[in-house]
Amino acid sequence: NATVIGADTLVAIDSRILGKPADLLEAREMLSALSGRTHVVCTGVCLIFPDGRIDCFSQLTEVTFAKLGNAEIDAYFARVNPLDKAGAYGIQEHGNLLGATISGSFDNVMGLPVTEVLSKLA
């Protein structure tokens, strides 16, 4: 008698999808690609209700990073493990070090568009 919620998030820039990096070299390449540019964070969400109804949707948010040099990327890596995050970053974990500005849902960039999920549950 519970509602099941599943979600996954990816980062996209140009026509490239950035999942979780395999190693620190790939993580550095990802942050370098995002440096000084705007990218899209997309979270897909699916809710399965106790009565069998299924409601799936996606949420897009634009994120722009400041220009990042090796020193900024090193400082970020010193505080955050980038290997378990799409695009090699977690906005909630020292995102200020990336100089990020967000156009849209902050919660979506964290991995779950809470406002939209709550509206579906209402």
Domain chopping of the chain, boundaries:
4-121
8 Å CB contact between 42 and 36: no
**Residue 40 CB coordination number (10 Å):** 15
Q: How many separate helices (H) and strands (E) can be counted in the chain?
A: 4, 5
Catalytic residue ranges: 8
Q: What is the pLDDT of residue 85?
A: 93
Instruction: Provide CATH code, domain 4-121.
Output: 3.90.950.10
Question: What's the predicted TM-score (pTM) here?
Answer: 0.89
Helix axes 24-34, 70-79, angle to 10 degrees: 130
Mean pLDDT per 10-residue interval, the chain, length 122 residues: 96 96 98 98 98 98 97 96 95 90 96 96 92
pLDDT, position 95: 85
Q: How many CA atoms lie within 13 A of 109 on its CB side?
A: 20
